[in-house]
Structures are given as C-alpha cells and as structure tokens.
Amino acid sequence: MIEQNEKNEVPFDEEYLRQLLIDEKIEEFREYFLALHPYDQAQFYEKVGPDIRGVMYLFLSPREMASIFEAIELDDEEYQPFLNEMNTAYGAEMLTYMYTDDAVDVLNELDKEHRDSYLKIMDSETVEEINELLGYEEYTAGSIMTTEYVSILENSTVRSAMAVLRKEAPNAETIYYVFVVDGDHCLTGVISLRDLIISEEDTLIRDIMNERVVHVKVSDDQEDIAQIFKDYNFLALPVVNDKNELQGIITVDDIIDVMDEEASDDYSKLAGISDVDDIDAGPFKAAKQRLPWLIMLLFLGMITASLMGKFEATLDKVAMLALFIPLISGTSGNSGTQALAVAVRGIATGEINDKSKVKMLLREICTGLITGIVCGLLVVGIVFVWKHTFIIGLLVGAAICCSILVATIAGSFIPLLIHKLGVDPAVASGPFITTLNDVTSILIYLGLATTLLSQIG
C-alpha cells in the first residue's frame, strides 16, 4: 500500500524504485511509480542507467512512457541514445502517443535514417501530422505549435459544443480555451471553458464567443510569440496560415521552453560562444564552440596593439602612462558591458521599442556622463596622492571620463543598430564590446597624452 503525505502526494523514494526494478516486482513498481508526478517519473528515468531503463520498458507501456518523455529535460543530442535503448516498434508507438509537437521536437533531434525508421511504422494519420510540423521552419510558430486542440463551429449550440468537447478533450493538450471556426475552418472567435459551462444549452456559439482573437501566423518568430504570452498572460494561442485557417495552437508550457532556450541563447552570445557549454562535453567540443569568437577577438585585439605602437614615442617619453592603460581599458569595458546588458534585455523583453529608443539612448548618455565624471574625479585624486603629479592624474581622469561615456553609448547603440538590421542583438556580445572599447579607450587616452605631451614633459 502506498503511503501519502498530508497533501495527498506520493513521496519520491529513488532507491526503493530501483530495488523494485532489480527485484522485478512489476506490480509494486507500477503502483508506486505511476502514482508519482510526471516530473519525478522523468527525473528517475533520466538518472538510472541503461540496464534499469531496460526493465522499465518491459514494465511500462508505450503510452505510459510517452508521458515520461514529454516531461523529460534532455539536451538535443541526448534523445538519440535514449531511443536507441528501446525496441524500434516500442519507440515508434511511444512517439505516436506523445502530443504531436513534443514528438516533432524529439524527431527533429534524430538523424534522417533513424527518423525515417520510426515514421515508417507509425500510423499514417500521425505521420501526416508530424510531417506537416516538420515542414515548418525552425524557431517559428509552426514548428512549436500542436495540432491537438478543440475547435467548434460558430453556428453550433452550446449543447453540441459540449458534446464535441467531451469527445475531443482526452486527446487535446488544453481545453481551457475553445477556438471557434467557420465552415472553411477560418478562425472567427474564442470561448472559454467557463463561458461554455455557464451558458444555456440552446445558445449559439457565435452569440457568446469573443470575436477579438489574438493570434499568430505559422511563420512568426517564437521569440515574438513568447513576448505575446508575457504581455497577455495567455495559456494558449491560436496559429493561423495566410488564409486565416486555424492550423494549431501554442500552449504556455511550450513557450516556457522557448523562453528558457532564448535566454540560454542570449547568454551564450553575450559570453561570446556559439552555445552554452555542456559540462559533460569534452574539451575539443568546448574549444570548437569558443574558438571562432576568440580568434575574431584576437584579431581585433591586434588593432589595440598596433594603436599602442603608433604612440610608442609618447610612452617612451613618459613611461608612467603605461601604468594606467589596463585601468582605463578595463573600466570602459565594464561600463560598455553594463550598457549592453541593459539594451539587450530591454529589446528581448519588449521594454525598448521604436518610441522608447531615443529616451533610452539619452538616459544612457547622461548615465555615462555622470559615471564618467565621478570616476574621473576619483582617479585624479588617487593619482595625485599616489604619484604626486596633478597633470597625469588630470589626463588619466579625463581619459576615463571620455572612455566611459563612449563605451556607454556604444554598448547601448550597437545592439539597437544590429536589431534594426534584423539581426539578434545578443551577437553584440560582451567580449566584442569589451574589445571595441579597448581600442577606443587606448585611442582616447594616448591621443590626449600626445596632445598634452609638452605640458606633461
């Protein structure tokens, strides 16, 4: 008998489950395991080794395994090894029972040979739905929508709509919203489950539906769709084609995955790598991800070295100037990265739009000016106390003030420019901004030093 806590939840005992599988106690395992939350089931499945999972495939049906695979959180390249542990027929049947969008997510990560091996033995109706979703461009509404939804005709009554709902609900991903279509399957409205329940049975759907339906097209970018969910707090969103025909729906659980994916992607680009390193990845794979940016930044860094060569005479005359180069370049780089983070976040969340761009830029200019003046004055005092020379302190302070101002403007303006060109602003990564600011800060610092060389000397 399974013991439950005060919240009527089954406690998760991983070792007990392992032992049940080792001892091949199928009834006890199924009773305990299937009473767990799907997340706990997925966590257990992912943690145990192939031998234990092999027993699970014998104890659990493909339908039961489908719910586990829908809850599991695997990296893209990990789906293939897990599926390879299963009999092909078992895996194909499991994919059939999964929601279509989830099955497509799994199949997208397989090579063509393995994907075709599953599609050949799945039923034709499921394969048709899967192939339709596989045909949409990645990262668009079409690629993340599901075709398991409930739609009703606008000229039907509440009584007939409830009959449709009872019939279709077991296979639908969500029923909180029911979408209304006309005879040509064009989207005309939406009605909530609550409104259906409280309405009179003979009422026509067109009389109680909401005709102002927020929807997206199959080609819309998933990042823009995530912003719509955030703005409107939707649980589901209809997807239509160019003819306004309802093609599917996007649910909030899929959008949470998108938000997580986009956040990881933006973080990767801000860090100057093509993708966030997997801690289990080998050194060669990690190096392959990081090298392209590092090599590009290496060549940009050579510009800094060549600039310093142009001012060799200035540095030879006043060697003390070299002491403050790391300070100036580091401070400007940090300031630029701060402005970059604010700009990229604002663009990603939609806080920065066409109307607020100028306001944001003016705010960053003022912020850069204030922080530059404060840091500059602070450095003037420190250098004067440390080196007992006011003119060099003034030079370093002025250089820091100007560098911070320029770095702040660059950090906020470059992402806006890149976004305007239709490119992901996160590609204006932290290392790129830092290297760019190194160049400008050295140019400002040594340029001022050369100009004031007669006074310094």
- Of 47-61, 155-169, 273-287, 386-400, give the lowest mean pLDDT range: 273-287
Burial-class residue 126 by CB neighbours within 10 Å (0-12, 13-18, 19+): middle
Range with the poorest average pLDDT among 169-183, 243-257, 442-456: 442-456
In words, the CATH class of domain 283-456 is mainly alpha
Q: Quote the Cα angle for 356-357-358, to 5°.
A: 95
- What is the structure's pLDDT at 301? 67
Going along 5-145, which residue ranges are E strands? none
What's the pTM?
Answer: 0.61
Of 72, 66, 169, 179, give the one whose Cα is nearest residue 126.
Answer: 66
Q: Domain-by-domain residue ranges, the chain?
A: 14-137, 151-251, 283-456
Query: How large a percentage of the chain has pLDDT more than 70?
Result: 84
pLDDT at 419: 77
User: Measured between alpha carbons, how far is 30 from 52 in angstroms, rounded to an integer?
Assistant: 14
Side chain identity at residue 448, one-letter code: L
Distance CA(63)–CA(78), nearest Å, equals 21
Looking at domain 14-137, does it have CATH number 3.20.20.120? no
Distance of alpha carbon 421 from alpha carbon 438, whole angstroms = 25
- Is the pLDDT reported for residue 452 higher than 70? yes
Partners of 243 in the beta sheet? Answer: none
pLDDT for position 435: 74
Q: What is the pLDDT of residue 7?
A: 43
Residue 173 has which token pair? 């991903």
Integer distance in angstroms from the first to the last C-alpha of the chain? 90
Look at residue 423 and tell me whether its pLDDT is greater than 90. no
Kindly state the average pLDDT of the residues 380-404.
Answer: 90
Over residues 319-338, the pLDDT tens digits come to: 778 888 888 888 888 888 88
The CATH homologous superfamily for domain 151-251 is: CBS-domain (3.10.580.10)
Mean pLDDT of the chain: 84
User: What is d(CA 396, CA 390) in angstroms, rounded to the nearest whole number?
Assistant: 10
- Give the model's confidence band at 5: pLDDT under 50 very low, under 70 low, under 90 confident, else very high: very low
Q: Specify the residue for token string 């089931």.
A: 41
Q: Do the strands 216-217 and 236-240 form a parallel or antiparallel pair, or are they unpaired? A: parallel
Q: What is the pLDDT of residue 157?
A: 96
User: Where is pLDDT greater, at 48 or 414?
Assistant: 48
pLDDT at position 209: 95
